[in-house]
Amino acid sequence: MLESLKSEVAAILKDSDKTVDSRLQVVCELLRKSIPYYDWVGFYFKNGDKQELKLGPYAGEPTDHTIIPFGKGICGQVAISNENFVVPDVAAQDNYIACSITVKSEIVIPLFLNGENIGQIDIDSNTPDPFTEADERFLEFVNQKVAEIL
Ligand code: SME
């Protein structure tokens, strides 16, 4: 399933008639509706020169966490670590920012442009421990394709 979504993602991102944000929006919606355990899908990007992330396009319930300081929560940690962060059980995390009480697990994959960590894709799931290495590889692919249009 993830493999077949790759070409759809690539096609959406190539559509230069649309703004970058609207293409990212369509990608978020595609992932959310296609993958049963992706309940919230969004992009965060570094907010200018500030040591914080700003919410970009997303699909799912609105979140209060539109700004996340570097170091805070799973997202803020990934902004600093430059590493994928897979959280099978959010209740077991100390440094976690809850967006919804229904969320059980999360995956955050950094997005690199010319080797620099400039943002991330964040997925929340209402299913416990659903993410595998296939999700990591797939989301790395998505971020790579996004970087090509930034
Ligand atoms: N749970 C994230 C905050 C962002 S929401 O999931 C949309 C975190 O701990 O950084």
Task: Residue 16: give the domain boundaries.
Answer: 2-147
List, for residues 50-87, the tens digit of each pLDDT value. 999 999 999 999 999 999 999 999 999 999 999 999 99
How far apart are alpha carbons 21 and 58 in whole angstroms?
Answer: 10
User: Looking at residue 138, what is its pLDDT?
Assistant: 98
CATH code at 109? 3.30.450.40
Distance 20 CA to ligand 1 centre (A): 23
Probe target for ligand 1 pocket from 40, 53, 54, 74, with the most ligand atoms within 8 Å of CB: 74
Q: Is pLDDT at 1 greater than 90 in this prediction?
A: no
- The Cα-based distances of 49 to 70, 117, 145 in angstroms read 12, 13, 24
Comparing 18-22, 51-55, 96-100, the range with the smallest average pLDDT is: 96-100
Band of pLDDT at residue 122, cut at 50, 70 and 90: very high
Please give the mean pLDDT across all residues of the chain: 97
Give the three-state DSSP class for 135.
helix
CB-ligand 1 contact for 97 (6 Å cutoff): yes
Residue type, 88: P
Contact predicate 20/111, CB 8 Å: no
How far apart are alpha carbons 91 and 9 in whole angstroms?
Answer: 31
Give the three-state DSSP class for 115.
coil
The domain total for the chain is 1
User: Looking at residue 113, what is its pLDDT?
Assistant: 98
